[in-house]
Amino acid sequence: MLHLVKKSLAFGALFLGASFGNSQSVLADESAQLLNSIRSFNAKSQNPSAPLPGYRTFTSNTANNNFMGQVTNVNQLKDVAPTDWAYEALRSLVERYGCIVGYRDRTYRGDRSLSRWEFAAGVNACLNSLERLIGENGSVLREDIDKLKRLTDNFATELAALGARVDNLENRVAFMEDHQFSTTTKLTGELITTLSAVGGNETAALDKPAGSPITDGQFAINYRLRILLDTSFNGEDLLRVRLQSGNYQFARAGSNLTDYNFTANTDNALIVNKLFYRFPVTKEATVWIAGARLNLDDISDPLAPFAGSFTEGSISFFGAIAPIYLQNDNQGPGVGALYSFSDNLNLSAYYSAGKGFDPRLGNGVFNGQFAAGTQLTYLPGANSGIGIAYLHNYIPQGQVSTFSALGFMGTTNTDTPFGENATSTDNIAILGNWRIAPGFAIEGWGMYTRAYANGGQRSGDDADIWNWKVTLAFPDLLSEGNIGILTVGMPPYAASLTNKNNVSDALSATTDAPWLLEAIYVFQVNKNLSVSPGLTYIINPANDRDPLLVGTLRTSFKF
């Protein structure tokens, strides 16, 4: 890199000479020889006078709107003064050879740095100007001709390469335009496959007697495929259509705690799994409108940068993100909004109706299951954050097993604490993450739920439900791009659960809190492929039931 003042000196002193007092013109045959040389050189370099993107060229016919066009008098450049040491050289280039342009604000910006590519482009512009002068029998100095010959030889490689680079860029742009999927839509996807097995002395299913063997713990290969179509019409909005297919089985060994972060079952059919449109209303406010599956974590940051990833994060369902984000994980429509008070502080609001697409009584947007939530998030830096989230969830009579009071993330008495009786919950969670060092980060949450029976045989009953989790992440462990993850936590469990009406088949409170421990190592084969072996150990998956062990080998493809 040289500074532009050096460029002025090079063009003024070396290229055209510091003095123009010599009035002797070149001979006609020498002019013709030089003209042929210049034309031959330009042909070989494939006419590289076209500027590369972002380059400041000197040619007078540039189409770049940043430039004001050909300068005819050096005094037009308001940041060039007669006291500048290169003033005379610059004046000569402007007035004699016409190969200097300025910016639209009438500046030359002589202190800006340039590369040899830019210098070569400048030389070529002045060569073209001299070609015109010679062709018109204009007066060109012998001294200038000698310096032009030297410059032509010195920069032949750069000028030829410059032309090749421009042609390569044009060819690449043309190829991309011919082969692009869409001018407005980007297609991405991920495929997760697992080899897994569940082991233990007995099933955790409460509808089977204690000591019953596990019947669905055999080694199995499963997959989940997601395809995302992201469309933007103005660069600031987003229309997302997510397609999904999968064949996982839920609650193996009778426990939600054996489910995966990516568990899904569509019977191998490809379905629309998510559909929303996001757009800014003001600089500070953004709105979401969804036709299917809008969750609170679509709008708010779950503050789980390592564990939350489907492909490289936690394998277990509970180990990923807090249950407050998953209590309305269904096909229903919804709306949301996010307001940013600053770059560090934002507030979100969210509403979703599980069967908002069904106009029948007991369903719809306002007469059926719904969840409404909000989150205040503070991000003091790029590597840390803290948030507090609240969500109210209501499930009508007879639909509790469909929607689950805690998003199918805990023990049985948190899924349907009051059977099929109408249930509502108030949930509050405190979340946080902190990357303490480049190779170490911590993230997690603590959450409390108050559940109420809203009618039927369990009217007046309530429950206190707790859960928490801490994840330790080790980015670049053993090798760059790899990640080690250790998780420990208590999945949702009902510490208290009343039965004021003495219903005979009522679930009881948890006497021994469940524990989940998980260890994962993510080996990043390349940017598109990772392999993650992991073990999940579950203590007290249900009252008086033995531990469960889940072994998983996850392979993730991103495209």
**For 60-105, how does the pLDDT look when each residue is reduced to its tens digit (9 = 90+)?**
333 344 544 566 777 777 788 877 777 777 777 777 667 666 676 7
What pLDDT, on the 0 to 100 scale, is given for residue 472? 98
* 156-189: pLDDT as tens digits: 777 677 667 777 777 777 777 666 667 788 999 9
Identify residue 269 by its one-letter amino acid code: A
Mean predicted confidence (pLDDT) in 433-445: 96
Mean predicted confidence (pLDDT) in 322-339: 90
Average pLDDT in the chain:
83
Both structure tokens of 66: 């940043």
Best-predicted range by mean pLDDT among 7-16, 127-136, 145-154, 430-439?
430-439
9 confidence band (pLDDT: 50, 70, 90): very low
319 confidence band (pLDDT: 50, 70, 90): very high
- Other residues' Cβ atoms within 10 Å of the Cβ of residue 66: 12
Q: Where are the domains of the chain?
A: 2-179, 185-558
Query: Is residue 548 predicted with pLDDT exceeding 90?
Result: yes
| CATH class of the domain whose range is 185-558 | mainly beta
Mean predicted confidence (pLDDT) in 389-418: 90
DSSP-based three-state secondary structure for 462: strand
With beta carbons less than 8 A apart as the criterion, state whether 132 and 11 touch. no
Query: Is residue 45 predicted with pLDDT exceeding 50?
Result: no
DSSP-based three-state secondary structure for 137: coil
* 237-280: pLDDT as tens digits: 999 999 999 999 999 999 999 999 999 999 999 999 999 999 99
- Which of 40-49, 401-410, 474-483 has the least mean pLDDT? 40-49
Closest by CA position to 122, among listed 61, 171, 172, 49: 49
Which stretches of 261-300 are DSSP H helices?
296-299
CA angle centred on 260, ends 259 and 264, rounded to 5°? 90
Three state DSSP letters for 354-420: CCCCCCCCCCCCCCCCEEEEEEEEEEEECCEEEEEEEEEEEECCCCHHHHCCCCCCCCHHHHCCCCC
What pLDDT, on the 0 to 100 scale, is given for residue 134? 67
d(CA 166, CA 41): 17
Mean predicted confidence (pLDDT) in 370-386: 94
d(CA 251, CA 178): 47
